[in-house]
Chains A and B, each alone.
Chain A
Amino acid sequence: MSRTVAVRPLRAALDARPSRRRPVMPAAALAVLALTAGCAQGASAGPAATGGAPVPGGTLRFALGAEPTGVDPQQVGTNVSIYIARQLADSLTDQDPETGEIVPWLAESWDVNDELTEFTFHLRDDVTFSDGTPLDAGTVKANFDALADGPLAASAPLAASYLGGYEKSRVEDEHTVTVVLEAPDAQFLQATSTVSLAILSEGTATADPAERQQGELVGSGPFVLEEYTQGQGAVITRRDGYDWASDAAAHDGEAYLDAVEFSVVPESGVRAGSLASGQVDAIGDVLPQDVPQVEGSGGQVLNRNNPGVAFVLQANVNRPPLDDPDVRRALLPAINRPELVDTVLSDAFKPATSVLASTTPGYTDLSDELVFDPEEAARLLDEAGWAEGPDGIREKDGEKLAFDVAYAPLFTGSEAVLELVQQQLRAVGVDLELRRLTPAEQTAAQESGDFDTYYYNVTRADADILRTQFAVGQRNLSFREAPQGDDDADPLDALLADALAEPDAAARAELAAGAQREILDQALAIPLFELAQSIGVRGEVHGVAFDASSRLLFRDAWIDGGGQ
């Protein structure tokens, strides 16, 4: 028995981390001040007015709420990964978060043919990637080819789905490229503004997908990846000479910040405490209970509602009792949406006023159909033949009016929201059973349709999300079936298909509005509330902004005094 061998691993492990003493900052006094201010409601003057010109320089320390899964703009899917990846690359177009309008970025202008099958992009001629190579038509072609049927198709599912009808890219001249699609595709232009279809260098387009996720990538964005450690965070630094900001950016030219340091702080209370004590400059995922601490220390909480499908209960229309549209319709007025927001969520969230969130281009306000009216709900259920039973739960032919909701705790408030929904439905004699799923069970349930309603949301700043979620042949969690004959055709599918082929923006919005009405008329989904991104920043931090998809942009961010 060799004693030394057994001892060595422990020794090596202990020696591996040399202890380097760090000077302790005399910031205690400041932190105490910040903390006491947190208790005094309204005593603080709030963040200083954003007066004064932006100051370049400084490093912004950002605490993420979860670990990024990678940094490749085309492959990342989670919000925290996008917070980093979005800064590294530019897209052909950008989407104005206020208007939803598509504006120039890497493409100065574009033409679309009448059939919506050919999109010609005229690229800027002054763009270079951080390795010095210029952007040209061939770069765009290489990117889209790789995403549509190259090595990335499997590992960048979101991008691949945006390019679902991709046929080829035609290089017209050095700075003109035409994307040819197999079928009319009205969502494609908005898709080119997303991070998933950001343009990377030609060398990156053909690189190994796994290595790209670990940071082996070259973009043209306002920041360059300096360092990325899986599970630990990332450092991005300003790209010198950046001069091709999108029309949606607040300023032209280089970013103001020298660098942004991302770290991962999973505990929400620790994030808020670190912000309040000045140990970080900005934090992600501020929970309602942490808002007073952030604001009390002179900071600010920035909110934006996620565009796309709001949080809904989508009904599986094949299982009783929800196979009866009258029962589903009765659920719409049974939910008290303002109560959900006021009691278990926070001001940042909004009661849903359609199946789409209000920040989605093409959203239409259907709040009249989503008014809380328990008497109306009761009347509808009486009419449908469900009478109140001895225990308060309605019954019909000996069956109770009961169904389940399958859900994953997608964010911290999910459980509390659904418990309140359960109480609200109980008040009109409906028994809702909460069925919490693990990520693994979630996928299985979605495939098999083994649920009565499904609780979820999806983020996308284009009304086409309705088609990918509700159309037969797409995600279709309602499990509606394909029509047997022409008479059987569902008007919803026609509306969604027409919208995809409609070139005129106004007409497209009209079709999208029709689809939203149709979804509520059939009560395929019971809208609940709109999710919000909540970001906390110190009073000294300005210009941190949300893009149209409610993800963060640091291109216009700056710190008072350049962070000195």
Chain B
Amino acid sequence: MTARGALRLLGGAAVVLWGAFTVSFAILYLLPSDPVSIMLSQSAESLDPAQVQALRERHGLDRPLPEQYLTQLGNALTGDLGTSVTTGAPVTDLLAEALPHTAALAGLALLLAVLAGTGIAVLASWTRARWLRAALLALPPVGVAVPGFWVGLVLLQLFSFTWYVFPAVGQDGFASLVLPAVTLAVPLSATIAQVLARGLDEAWRAPYADTAFGAGASRNRVLGAHVLRNGSLPTVTLIGVLTGNLLGGTVVVETVFSRQGLGRLAEQAVTTQDIPVVQGLVLTGALVFVVAGLLADLAHPLLDPRLRGRRAAPAPRAVPA
């Protein structure tokens, strides 16, 4: 890719990040009250207004909004996201501490979801047994419909409380990662299976499939060489989008499984209106979205030779799931 193309992509990413920062700043400051009042409302006694003022000054909340915005934006550009109002810890430290846990969880969940989703869709597409196909295609709507919260509690009841296979609490080692990753993967794999199954169906009906059959290719050969390749393009785009959405899913899963991570951090920061932490999380989320989208775009030419060497060729867009 040319230097110019790379610059354009980077510029686009920067605009997305700046937009996320600005919108979240505006929303957070439009809310009534401020983080200092919320923090102080936890304590019983009525407070000296001078103390409240001193705290507001320490966090710069007494200055005019445009000044606060520009100061924070400037700091963010130099990698300084400020300190948490509730705990006083630097936001970058909080993010750095939480990120590996969530990345491991989301990574495993994504892997499981891709394996399960692909498995279901391919099997349903390959099999000639109508009952099996119907049964397999009934799975994704169920997977999307059941709440993650409930799936997590059922898994815990079965595989931790009743039959101790995995620990219910703590996050040491791989064993503690399994149940939360499965919980997170269920709705994800369902979406993947749904979209991929539809993509494969269309590819089976496409003229090149008939051509391949006509040329004497076996059913398995047509599936492997033609149908899977063409039918999976929308799914790849979808996986990029889902990776961004994964962060939202971790809020519930990390709470049910008592895990530390970005989701829990987000839940805490939003309830306490901890502006610097929320901003840090919004930026992280935007970054993940940008990177995941980029990776999905890069993967397209690998699957579809028609896209190679052509700049800005429109990739097949995902069917809205």
Contacts and interface: CB of A to CB of B under 8 A. Distances in A.
Interface of A: 1-3, 6-7, 9-10, 13-14, 16-17, 19-22, 24-28, 31-32, 35, 63, 67, 69-70, 77-78, 153-155, 157-158, 160-161, 209-211, 213-214, 229-232, 263-267, 269-270, 273-274, 276-277, 279-280, 308, 439-444, 446, 458-460, 465, 468, 474-476
Question: Chain A interface secondary structure, helix, strand, loop or mixed?
Answer: mixed
Contact of B169 (A1, A279, A465, A468): A279
Given A157-B40, A157-B47, A277-B168, A16 B268 contact: no
B256 A270 contact: yes
B249 interface: no
A264 B258 contact: yes
B100 A157 contact: no
19 contacts: A7-B295, A13-B99, A13-B103, A21-B175, A24-B165, A31-B161, A35-B162, A77-B43, A158-B45, A161-B46, A210-B83, A232-B260, A263-B170, A277-B161, A277-B164, A279-B164, A439-B272, A443-B37, A465-B44
Given A14-B104, A229-B260, A273-B156, A440 B32 contact: yes
A460 B44 contact: yes
A157 B164 contact: no
A468 B260 contact: no
A78 B268 CA distance: 14
Kindly list the 4 A-B residue pairs having the minimum CB-CB distance in the complex, ordered from nearest. Answer: A210-B88, A13-B103, A1-B1, A19-B174
B51 A3 contact: no
A214 B87 contact: yes
Interface in B43-87: 43-48, 51, 54-55, 58, 83, 86-87
Contacts of A2: 6
Given A22-B173, A439-B272, A444-B33, A273 B160 contact: yes
Given A264-B258, A276-B161, A210 B156 contact: no
B163 interface: yes
Given A269-B153, A443-B33, A154 B161 contact: no
Given A213-B88, A443-B40, A458-B44, 12 more contacts: A6-B298, A14-B104, A21-B174, A22-B174, A24-B164, A25-B164, A153-B51, A161-B45, A231-B98, A269-B153, A270-B169, A273-B161
A14 B33 contact: no
Among B33, B38, B164, B173, max chain A CB count under 10 A is at B164
B268 A157 contact: no
Interface in B258-307: 258, 260, 264-265, 268, 271-273, 291, 294-295, 298
Contacts of B1: 1
B87 to A, nearest CB: 6
A270 B175 contact: no
B295 A6 contact: yes
A211 B87 CA distance: 9
A154 B54 contact: yes
B5 interface: yes
A47 B273 CA distance: 43
Interface in B180-207: none
A435 B310 CA distance: 59
Contacts of B41: 439, 442-443, 446
Contacts of A14: 103-104, 107
B255 interface: yes
B46 A474 contact: yes
Contacts of A441: 32-33
B31 interface: yes
Contacts of B22: none
B244 interface: no
Contacts of A161: 45-47
B168 A230 contact: no
A63 B174 contact: no
B177 interface: yes
Given A19-B174, A77-B42, A442-B41, A231 B260 contact: yes
A17 B101 contact: yes
B260 A19 contact: no
A158 B100 contact: no
B164 A28 contact: yes
A14 B99 CA distance: 10
A7 B48 CA distance: 53
Contacts of A78: 42
A16 B272 CA distance: 29
Contact of A443 (B5, B38, B157, B165): B38
Contacts of A77: 42-43
Most A CB within 10 A of own CB, among B42, B44, B89: B44
A16 B44 contact: no
A484 B142 CA distance: 69
B94 interface: yes
A69 B100 CA distance: 22
Contact of A35 (B34, B86, B161): B161
A389 B257 CA distance: 52
Interface in B132-176: 153, 156-157, 160-176
Q: Which of A153, A279, A439, A465 has its CB near the most chain B CB atoms (within 10 A)? A: A439
